[in-house]
A and B are shown apart, each in its own frame.
Chain A
Amino acid sequence: MHREPAVPKLYGLMAEFDDANALVAAAKRTYAEGYRKMDTYSPFPIEPAWEAMHVHDRPVSFFVLCGGIVGMIGGFGLCWWVSTTAYPLNVGGRPLNSWPAFIPVTFELTVLIASFAAVISMLALNGLPMPYHPVFNVPSFLRASQDRFFLAIEATDPKFDPARTSEFLKSLGPKEVNEVPA
């Protein structure tokens, strides 16, 4: 990465904890301090952590519902259109629109499209794939995927002040606080 060592441009400050409980507590306090542009990083999902930051969005479910509906209509539509319109044949004396026979395909397509919707929308909303992110600049952040817990406050937060914010983070009892260069 290319930057001026003299005046380092900051992404934010990051506190490192070695305990999930400490992280959750810290997150609560940070939010109480009025910080909003913040995030926590952990090696496994910690529900209290995002509750502490009052993060509540469920758009994935909505996309899955849409995917399911599209799959269902598309699946039955395909069978029906093919059997009655595009390729109408007398098959064993059965009626052209033998709808009960179309149900399995309809069901499978419903699940297929909905599943794709779930995964793709999840990744998209998370902005993944994202090969580069400033937090990776902190050397110890490697352990965020293993056994350490991080709390980051971004420089763009209105209340952010390098000195005071750093003081505040240190008061949370972390192992250490690092600057996150942008």
Chain B
Amino acid sequence: MDFAAIRSRLAGAEGRLYWRSLAELSDSLEFREYLHREFPEQASEWNDPKGRRSFLKLMSASLALAGVGACTRQPPEDIVPYVRQPEEIVPGRPLFFASAIPMSGIAKPVLVESHMGRPTKIEGNPEHPASAGAADAVTQAAVLGLYDPDRAQTVTYRGEVRPWSAFMGAMQSATSGQKGSKGAGLRILTEPVTSPSMAELLATILQDYPAARWHQFDAIGSDGARNGIKQAHGSAANAVYHFDKADVILSLEADFLSPSGIGSVRYTKDFADRRRVTDENKHMNRLYIVESSPTLTGAKAEHRLAIKSSEIEGFARRLASTITGQSSSAASTPAPGGQLGEKWVAAVAKDLQEHRGRSLVIAGDYQPAAVHALAHAMNQALGNIDATVTYGPAIEAQTVDQHASLAELSNAMEAGQVQLLLILGNNPAFTAPADLKFAERLAKVGLIVYHGLYHDETADLAHWNVPQTHPLEAWGDARAYDGTVTLMQPLTEPLYDAHSAYEVLTTLTTQPMRKTTEIVKDYWMRAFGAGVWTIRNAQGETFNNAEAFWRQAVHDGFISGTAALATPFAPAPKPGAAAGAPGTAAAATTTDTAQAPSDPSTPATGSAQPPAPTPTPSPAPQTAGGLELIFRPDPHVLDGRFANNGWLQEAPKPLTKLTWDTAAWISPRLAETRGLDRGDVIELRYRGLTARMPVFIVPGQPDESVTIFFGYGRRMSGRVGNPPEEARAFNAFLLRTSDAPWFGSGLEISKTGERYLLATTQDHHAMEGRYPARVATIAEYEKEPEIFKHMGGHVPPRTLTLLPEVDYKGYKWGMAIDLASCTGCGACVVACVAENNIPVVGKEQVDRNREMHWIRVDHYFTGDIDRPESLQAIHQPVPCQQCENAPCEVVCPVAATTHSSEGLNDMVYNRCVGTRYCSNNCPYKVRRFNFLLYSDWYTESYYSQRNPDVTVRSRGVMEKCTYCVQRINTARIDAKKEDRAIRDGEIVTACEATCPADAIVFGNLNDPDSRVSKLKAQHRNYGVLEDLNTRPRTTYLASLRNPNLELEPAGERTTGH
């Protein structure tokens, strides 16, 4: 046993150091083997529920490492609660703090619910323009990541536990070595940086080490958008779209309604607002989309043209020349998609031109720069600039082509020019394009410091590993998709020995001891009132002092009015020198910095742009023939960063409803010709690279394209994300090359003969003429408002009963869900999971139809599978319908589920014996049964995440949606204290709160003025399976489509009755 190590570690420990055994403390070889042995090998047990349980018992012992207890303590710094002051903490009453979850450097503004210092739930920040109260699935699931017991927990050097002080020492000596060469051997690799304070810190370092280089890489970022705007705009800029002003939208493979996209939360809201049809106002926008593999945006579109990803540029060119009227060579070349394509070009061009200034052309993140430039050109020609699309200054401190940047670093490593490499997050060893051979070239680097949340693939190759603080553990700032500066405040002390990126970077500066708080706060203190940042409060007034501004900003979670300003990239003034404002040296900054527009108050205008040049065509794909391979980030685990998040793994992926795995999407016809079936494992050969994938047959996928998703096949993600042996090769990064990051041709696939189990939560996507989800065109609806009532079975008259009506006095809760707004993003599912302590059951159980989600998003296809353009998808969120004549209640032998006086279909867990009769008798099948002990009772770190207001269910108990009864009761208590009735909108269910489209509305049906009553009065309102006389309290507003008659004659209808 190495006592020296023990002493050094205890000596170096900051604050309390938790250790269980001397063996662990001395970090002896055997002990590490013990830990490591249990990680990857046994991880396969995770999928097996029984295995997982025993496994967790085992792990909870070996993982009772540093300071789980710490998470119940308030951080030492002074942070400002959102609704009331911290000293007002009342046990049982949560506090809400505004913060942000950065993704790829962009802030997703959130409101964090904290119970006695334990962050338990993430919701959107209602006051923030980028959120308006909504949050997407991945953002909400971040709270689970905070408590993930698999997080990196201690600073290590070559795998041995070291104190932070030792790391600082190591960095001092390493940097002193660089002083001479002006840091020629120093490289820093980060995600895109929008954080002003971080930018200043980086600038300062680069000032000290002029020869050092700063690289940025984000595997799922959009170089196309960056470069396209530069092409069209002259300099880097940030395009912001305003769907709330657009009547006709053409998406060139832009998935702006994606479940995890940057800014898609706000975009979804705006888009939905523009099609919120009522009996009074029947105005509705129209969406055309040209895309390859189906997306949620495509599912929402009135018209969808499915062509290869590589053909979209051609289409854009033809359309652009038609719209701008510039007779270019493109005009003559036929449009992709054959006759249909031609028809499209004509119809869409006409429609767009008829809506000048109210139309919008948006290019997809995964399309090359040329397409973005074309979209810009069309918008300009259509007069949409400043109307439906505005260009702000670049929000990234330095806008670079990220694949080029990483390639440069990789070559430098190859050349042996890199002595000291700091990698801040994003696991490049896993996410780097295969052709850069990044992982193996790391071996040529002198000293690698990796700063990550997990001990992942990159950490495994690094020398020094510094655990990263979770966004909920550290101060920081970042900019939202629209540029609004958003502040992050810690909700808890770091659970483990983790450090923020600031602290890691300070070790390169002259003041290595600075704390994150100081750095961030100091920056904004200096920024206050000075030059670059014009700081106003929401009302546009100035603050009387910096402290007031700071408190307000932290309280709100963002600094209003900062969207229109560029992120300065300038070093901080030398300590000792008069504290100048940040960015005073902005002029002296390096190339590519976005120029702040002359007048910050108004964003750069289209007229200010040089006339859009006809963009240079992007290089044609080198090898024709073969199939087209399309890369996409996984909708939930993205590039794999969330692979270890059980909520996201189990949340059904949009359209396929696949959980826990990835799959290669192929069209039904391709499947037919290649003799492939769902779950067949294929080998993909592409540019000399190979990978394997199970196939999933997706209607609407182009026949010549195969779409694969990043994020799977991670060997070192943790016990949730580590794949079984046979799934290790399901890794899309194995095929990615830096020259064609998003699609390329020349793919060959072959059937391996192996099968792989794909667990989905919905197998049947046809409605069988039962119309649970109803849709009609706006024209049909105008002609016959009652149309939706006639779909589905005959509804018996309410009088047709021998029994007396139950009269619900007082409150009468109900819910209305607008299918016209719902995009099927699934944010509500994760919100419900977080709010109601819903357990993760694992892949095998999902495959047995035992998933526990209280709300599910059903997805139905209509149309002809062989004519992708005729396909329509519709999404329908299904929580408990809270039937007044609940079939489930009558059959329960022990009255474990009965009606409350307010008409809630209550479930009494501790009375339930588990006969499952209620579930059998539920026509909506919304009840969920704990077939095994699903709730994780063994992993201590998860205890703190649970919502204390909701029971953690045990084995053998039935459960289901309760309309968030805990929230109802909280509101009732407040109302009683103030001796008043509960106000409309005071109770917001978890799903309603987070819905980006505001599709879900909850309220009191006895109040004729409540929003829900008004919605239920609409003609579009109908109840699912009302013909069974269940009298559901949850009803739906039928979906509407606004098709262009030129593309869809009124006769041809694929839905309705």
Contacts and interface: CB of A to CB of B under 8 A. Distances in A.
Find out whether A and B make contact in their complex, taking CB atoms under 8 A apart as touching. Answer: yes
Interface of A: 87, 89-95
Contacts of B890: 91-92, 94
B1031 interface: yes
10 contacts: A89-B898, A89-B899, A90-B806, A90-B898, A90-B899, A91-B889, A91-B898, A91-B899, A92-B885, A93-B806
Contacts of B888: 92
Nearest to B801: A93
A109 B959 CA distance: 33
B886 interface: yes
A47 B900 CA distance: 64
A89 B895 contact: yes
B803 interface: yes
A87 B896 CA distance: 12
Contact of A91 (B883, B895, B901, B1031): B895
Nearest to A83: B895
B610 interface: no
Interface in B881-926: 883-890, 892, 895, 898-901
A92 B895 contact: no
B666 to A, nearest CB: 47
A116 B838 CA distance: 50
A92 B888 CA distance: 7
Contact of A87 (B803, B887, B889, B895): B895
B804 A95 contact: yes
Contacts of A89: 895, 898-899
Contacts of B899: 89-93
Interface string B626-658: 000000000000000000000000000000000
Contacts of A87: 895
B405 to A, nearest CB: 64
Contacts of A90: 806, 898-901
Interface residues of B, number: 18
Interface in B763-807: 803-804, 806
Nearest to A101: B890
A92 to B, nearest CB: 4
Contacts of A94: 803, 890
A38 B489 CA distance: 104
B895 A93 contact: no
A91 B885 CA distance: 8
Contacts of B887: 92
Contacts of A93: 803, 806, 884-886, 899, 1031
Contacts of B806: 90, 93
A132 to B, nearest CB: 49
A110 B857 CA distance: 50
Nearest to A82: B895
A104 B885 CA distance: 22
Contacts of B895: 87, 89, 91
Contacts of B892: 91
B1026 to A, nearest CB: 14
The 3 A-B residue pairs whose C-beta atoms are closest, nearest first, are A90-B899, A92-B889, A92-B890
A95 B884 CA distance: 13
A93 B890 CA distance: 9
Contacts of B900: 90
A81 to B, nearest CB: 15
B20 to A, nearest CB: 50
B803 A95 contact: yes
Contacts of B883: 92
Contacts of A92: 883, 885-890, 899
A90 B886 CA distance: 10
A164 B899 CA distance: 84
A88 to B, nearest CB: 10
Nearest to B805: A93
A91 B911 CA distance: 15
Contacts of B803: 93-95
Contacts of B885: 92-93
Given A92-B885, A93-B806, 12 more contacts: A89-B895, A89-B898, A90-B898, A90-B899, A91-B895, A92-B888, A93-B803, A93-B884, A93-B886, A94-B803, A95-B803, A95-B804
A94 B899 CA distance: 10
A124 B892 CA distance: 41
A91 B884 CA distance: 9
Interface string B670-708: 000000000000000000000000000000000000000
A8 B176 CA distance: 128
B571 to A, nearest CB: 70
A92 B806 CA distance: 10
A76 B869 CA distance: 64
Contacts of A95: 803-804
B709 to A, nearest CB: 44
Nearest to A89: B898
Nearest to B889: A92
A85 to B, nearest CB: 14
A87 B806 CA distance: 17
Interface string B793-837: 000000000011010000000000000000000000000000000
B867 to A, nearest CB: 45
Contacts of A91: 889-890, 892, 895, 898-899
Interface in B867-886: 883-886
B813 to A, nearest CB: 14
B66 to A, nearest CB: 50
Interface string B513-536: 000000000000000000000000
Contacts of B898: 89-91
Contacts of B889: 91-92
A93 B889 CA distance: 9
Nearest to B887: A92
B541 to A, nearest CB: 55
A92 B801 CA distance: 14
Nearest to A90: B899
A92 B889 CA distance: 5
Contacts of B804: 95
Interface string B438-453: 0000000000000000
B892 to A, nearest CB: 8
A89 B911 CA distance: 14
Interface string B224-243: 00000000000000000000
A90 B897 CA distance: 10
Nearest to B1031: A93
A61 B804 CA distance: 43
Interface centre among A90, A94, A95 (most CB of B within 10 A): A90
A35 B887 CA distance: 71
B121 to A, nearest CB: 32
A78 to B, nearest CB: 15
A5 B946 CA distance: 89
Nearest to B804: A95
A165 to B, nearest CB: 66
A56 to B, nearest CB: 48
A151 to B, nearest CB: 58
A155 B900 CA distance: 76
A95 B801 CA distance: 12
Contacts of B886: 92-93
A93 B547 CA distance: 59
A159 B289 CA distance: 117
A92 B895 CA distance: 10
A46 B1031 CA distance: 66
Contacts of B1031: 93
Nearest to B808: A90
Interface centre among A87, A89, A90, A92 (most CB of B within 10 A): A92
A95 B890 CA distance: 11
A16 B767 CA distance: 85
A103 to B, nearest CB: 15
A64 B62 CA distance: 69
A102 B233 CA distance: 79
Interface centre among B887, B889, B892, B900 (most CB of A within 10 A): B889
A92 B1030 CA distance: 9
A87 B895 CA distance: 9
